[in-house]
Amino acid sequence: MIAALAAFTAEPLAPEKLFGIGPFTVTNSMLLGWITAISLIALFGAAAKASKVWPKSRLAFFVESLIDLVYGMATDTFGGDEKRARRHFPLLISLLLLILLGNLSGLLPGIDTISYHHVSLLRSWTTDLNTTLALAILSLATVHYYAVKEVGLRGYARHFFSGNLKSPLTWFIGLNEVFSEILRLITLSLRLFGVIYGGEALLFAIAALAGNFGWVATLPVILLEIFVSLIQAYLFMMLTASYIVMSTSHGESEHAGGQAARVEGTS
């Protein structure tokens, strides 16, 4: 049985190249990433065209409720400040929906299984470390850009090196803070990649172990994967929002999500 497990290989860690357009190679996860992005744009375009003051189409109704829900969550995180929530809202909802669709697309039939010469044609977009690294760089660049824009370059440096500038303790703490910021990049990307890729590898392993009953044995794991996909997409969006809040208003809402302040206020 161990030999059977060892002989079975899940998808490799790095995505495989499919074809090349000139000097630019296209991998299988990039292909599904384009399909995901185009279908999301088409969905929102159709909903935008069909929405009126009293929406009659069900698609417009659903999309508007979804946007309302996410807008409520974002406004909560920003502590009720609607202007800043509205400024950052397009980034947050794009992150949420792209990551959610990318995570869930790994569970659809045909992904990772249709292969040509042992190279699978489609691979879920967020199982690619390049993708999650790019999303993390985008989020953190937005955070730092708005931090510098809000408090200026000097205030931004003082956010790390706060206190008496002559004492070495300040420099030590400051270097630790800078290292934490860089570590945020690594954990943000590796968290999403590890969870989604590990989930897919788990599905492969359970299917290999169960043999002929794979279709029943993988059902609880698929339900777990749907749950985990939702949570990781929501978490990425909420962490980005929390970092923006924490870096632009120093210490006002210290807890992640800003909801802890509300909780302590009402109890």
Contact residues for another protein, defined by CB under 8 A:
2, 6, 9-10, 13, 187, 190-191, 194-195, 197-199, 201-202, 204-205, 228, 231-232, 234-235, 238, 256-257, 259-260, 262-263, 266-267
Q: Which residues are 96's β-sheet partners?
A: none
Specify the residue, 23 or 264, whose C-beta has the smaller distance to another protein.
264
Min separation Cβ 194 and another protein, Å: 4
Residues 37 and 94: their CA atoms lie apart, in Å, by 10
Specify the residue, 133 or 228, whose C-beta has the smaller distance to another protein.
228
Specify the residue, 72 or 152, whose C-beta has the smaller distance to another protein.
72
Residues 230 and 226: their CA atoms lie apart, in Å, by 6
Give residue 9's region: left, alpha or beta (phi > 0; psi -120 to 50). beta
Residue 124: name the closest of 110, 140, 111, 115 by CA. Answer: 111
Alpha carbon distances (Å) from 242 to 58, 79, 99, 157, 258: 33, 10, 18, 19, 8
186 close to 192: Cβ distance less than 8 angstroms: no
The residue assigned the tokens 């002989």 is 7
Give me the half-sphere count of Cα atoms (radius 13 Å) on the Cβ side of residue 218. Answer: 20
Min separation Cβ 203 and another protein, Å: 10
Min separation Cβ 49 and another protein, Å: 33
Min separation Cβ 195 and another protein, Å: 4
Specify the residue, 7 or 169, whose C-beta has the smaller distance to another protein.
7
Q: How many CB atoms lie within 10 A of CB 17?
A: 12
Min separation Cβ 74 and another protein, Å: 13
Min separation Cβ 229 and another protein, Å: 11
Q: How many CB atoms lie within 10 A of CB 9?
A: 9
Which two three-digit tokens encode residue 95? Answer: 């992150």
Min separation Cβ 234 and another protein, Å: 7
Residues 248 and 229: their CA atoms lie apart, in Å, by 29
Specify the residue, 102 or 199, whose C-beta has the smaller distance to another protein.
199
Specify the residue, 171 or 204, whose C-beta has the smaller distance to another protein.
204
Specify the residue, 158 or 191, whose C-beta has the smaller distance to another protein.
191
